[in-house]
Amino acid sequence: MAAFSGILLASFTTPMHIDTNPVSMLWLLPLVASIAVVYKATKVYKIVAFPFLRESAVLFWSILVFVVVVALFLYGLGWVVTDLLPNVLSGSAF
Amino acid sequence: MAQSWKDHHNLFLVATGLLAWLVPGGGHFLLNERRRAAVIFVVVVLTFLVGLYVGSIGIIDPVGAKPWYAAQIMNSPMVYFLGRVSATGKYPVYGRPNEIGQIYTSTAGLLNLLCIVNAVYLAHLRKTEKTDD
């Protein structure tokens, strides 16, 4: 029991190893799920298992779609500013 | 008499808010919203613990990351004591684990703030509905 407690405490004093790659973006998913569930818990009139889960799932996907759309927009904006505009300007009179 | 009722009402609102801050979901529990309280408790505590597990207690940094700490302390006053432990500098954390841990714990704190406000608002509504009857 003491060894188990020691391991448990130690796991909260040493950070995990997470690479800086696109896969680390998946850490977004549990957070979005938390936000959706807690927000819905404060909004629904009465918590009944199935309707509550359905409403939380709808909010989860809504947030996810919005995040993806914003990410694509920002990626496009970045491409225009860093790739497209310099090429257009270098071919102009400037 | 009216003044006395108002005093009690305000005291009840403060107690609800404080309990909701002490234990996530505690405010709703006080209002007999047991299911809501359980959902809030499980999700907020789990989110906070995941953040703590990812980044270690070093992510609670009351000195170098004050804005994050302000959001983190909304989880519970317990965070203050964790902050004092991590302020010793024994648990340094950098890079992606630091970012993800801070985002998780701070979001959990902000979600709990939402629940605190919601519990106080519910308490206020119930009291005013009772007096209207």
ipTM: 0.88
Interface of A with B (CB under 8 A): 11-20, 24, 27, 30-31, 34-35, 37-39, 41-42, 47, 52
Whether B16 is covered by a domain: the verdict is no
Residue A73 confidence (pLDDT) above 70: yes
- The tokens for B117 are 């406000």
Cross-chain Cβ contact A15/B54 below 8 Å: yes
Residue B132, pLDDT score: 66
Residue A94 confidence (pLDDT) above 80: no
- What mean pLDDT is predicted for residues B37-62? 93
Residues from chain A that touch B95, judged by Cβ atoms under 8 A, are: 18, 20
DSSP code at position B24:
T
- State pLDDT tens for residues B72-113: 999 999 999 988 888 887 888 788 888 899 999 999 999 999
Query: Does the pTM of the predicted model rise above 0.90?
Result: no
Give the containing element (helix H, strand E) for A29: helix A28-43
CB A14 within 8 A of CB B55: no
Residue B3, pLDDT score: 58
Residue A42 confidence (pLDDT) above 60: yes
Whether B50 is covered by a domain: the verdict is yes
Query: Nearest Cβ partner of B111 from A12, A27, A38?
Result: A38
- What mean pLDDT is predicted for residues B37-60? 93
Q: What percent of chain A is modeled with pLDDT above 90? A: 57
Q: Which domain holds residue B119?
A: 35-126
Residue A25 confidence (pLDDT) above 80: yes
CB B60 within 8 A of CB B109: no
CA distance B127 to B131: 6
CA distance B16 to B27: 5
Whether B19 is covered by a domain: the verdict is no
CA distance B44 to B75: 8
Q: How many separate domains does chain B show?
A: 1
Instruction: Flag whether residue B24 sits within 8 Å of chain A, measured between CB atoms.
Output: no
Q: Where are the domains of chain A?
A: 27-88
- State pLDDT tens for residues B12-45: 999 999 999 999 999 999 999 999 999 999 999 9
CB B42 within 8 A of CB B24: no
